[in-house]
């Protein structure tokens, strides 16, 4: 298996788009051998625990309504080309995502990280739900096969908050400043919402390398000569 580490934030629209592009490539190459693991990154680490009004957040971040509209125009365009629906009119709150990242961490332990990440993207971008709300997070976890009651109990505590914070800090120390960031086989960094074509080339190249390695292992004399 080839490890594919993905650093993202579930409120990042480019992460949502990037996942859609990757999914399309993986669907076209079902023989791929990626072992995917998701890692935390908060776009707004100083966001209040209860989040904030989305319109206020955007206008503050981009310096006004018109600037915010211009900043998000490419997002809407790329989402549409990726076949994604983003219901901006439904999103009322920009949440603090620390608890969402804890949920993703627990999902990794239970082997359902990618479904939970997909569920978070759907909840936020399609349904406009507040994914900082523990009840919403428990529901997302439950729909992905987790124990919703247990998730609620864990979210009411500080369980694994330090672990998740350490993981994010480790990523920032590695030089990660934006998401999505993909790390292939622990060494090749791919940043941004790359196209399905790029991922298909990566999958093909990895398959060729692995086939050559298998052939060399089976015929050591040829490799030596």
- Level-2 CATH architecture, domain 2-224: 3-Layer(aba) Sandwich (3.40)
pLDDT of residue 213: 87
pLDDT tens per residue across span 32-73: 989 999 999 999 999 999 999 999 999 999 999 999 999 999
Residue 222 pLDDT greater than 70, yes or no: no
pLDDT band for 219, please (50, 70, 90 cuts). confident
Quick check: 167 and 133 in contact, CB under 8 A? no
pLDDT tens per residue across span 185-200: 999 999 999 999 999 9
Quick check: 163 and 111 in contact, CB under 8 A? no
Average pLDDT of the segment spanning 92-115: 98
pLDDT tens per residue across span 132-172: 999 999 999 999 999 999 999 999 999 999 999 999 999 99
pLDDT band for 221, please (50, 70, 90 cuts). low
Q: What angle do CA 89, 100, 172 make, to 5 degrees?
A: 105
Segments of 103-200 assigned E as strands: 181-184, 188-191
User: Could you write out the DSSP letters of every residue in 16-62?
Assistant: HHHHHHHHHHHHH-TT--EEEEEEE--S-TT--TT-EEHHHHHHHHH
C-alpha 94/C-alpha 54 separation (Å) is 5
Summary mean pLDDT of the chain: 95
Strand order in the sheet with 34-40: 34-40, 2-8, 181-184, 188-191
C-alpha 39/C-alpha 147 separation (Å) is 21
Please list, in sequence order, all residues whose beta carbon lies within 8 angstroms of the beta carbon of residue 149, skipping any fewer than 6 positions away: 138
For residue 52, what are the β-bridge partners? 94
pLDDT tens per residue across span 202-217: 999 999 998 898 888 8
For residue 191, what are the β-bridge partners? 181
Give pTM, 2 decimals. 0.94
C-alpha 223/C-alpha 214 separation (Å) is 11
pLDDT of residue 223: 52
Average pLDDT of the segment spanning 12-40: 96
Burial class, 192, CB count within 10 angstroms (exposed 0-12 / middle 13-18 / buried 19+): middle
pLDDT of residue 85: 87
Higher pLDDT, 151 or 218: 151
Residue 220 pLDDT greater than 90, yes or no: no
């Amino acid at each position: 298996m080839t490890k594919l580490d993905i650093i993202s934030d579930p409120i990042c629209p480019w992460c949502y788009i990037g996942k859609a592009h990757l999914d399309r490539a993986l669907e076209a190459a079902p023989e791929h051998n990626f072992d995917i693991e998701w890692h935390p990154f908060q776009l707004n680490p100083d966001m209040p625990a209860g989040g904030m009004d989305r319109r206020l957040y955007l206008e503050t971040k981009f310096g006004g309504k018109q600037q915010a509209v211009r900043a998000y125009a490419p997002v809407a365009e790329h989402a549409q080309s990726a076949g994604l629906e983003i219901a901006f009119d439904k999103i009322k709150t920009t949440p603090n995502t620390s608890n969402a990242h804890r949920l993703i961490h627990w999902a990794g332990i239970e082997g359902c990280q990618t479904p939970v990440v997909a569920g978070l993207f759907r909840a936020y971008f399609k349904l406009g739900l507040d994914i900082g709300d523990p009840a919403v997070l428990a529901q997302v976890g439950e729909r992905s096969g987790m124990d919703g009651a247990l998730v609620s109990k864990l979210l009411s505590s500080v369980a694994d908050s330090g672990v998740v914070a350490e993981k994010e800090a480790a990523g920032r120390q590695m030089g990660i400043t934006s998401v999505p960031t993909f790390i292939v086989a622990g060494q090749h960094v791919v940043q941004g919402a790359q196209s399905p074509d790029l991922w298909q080339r990566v999958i093909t190249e990895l398959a060729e390398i692995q086939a050559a390695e298998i052939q060399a292992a089976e015929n050591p004399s040829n490799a030596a000569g």
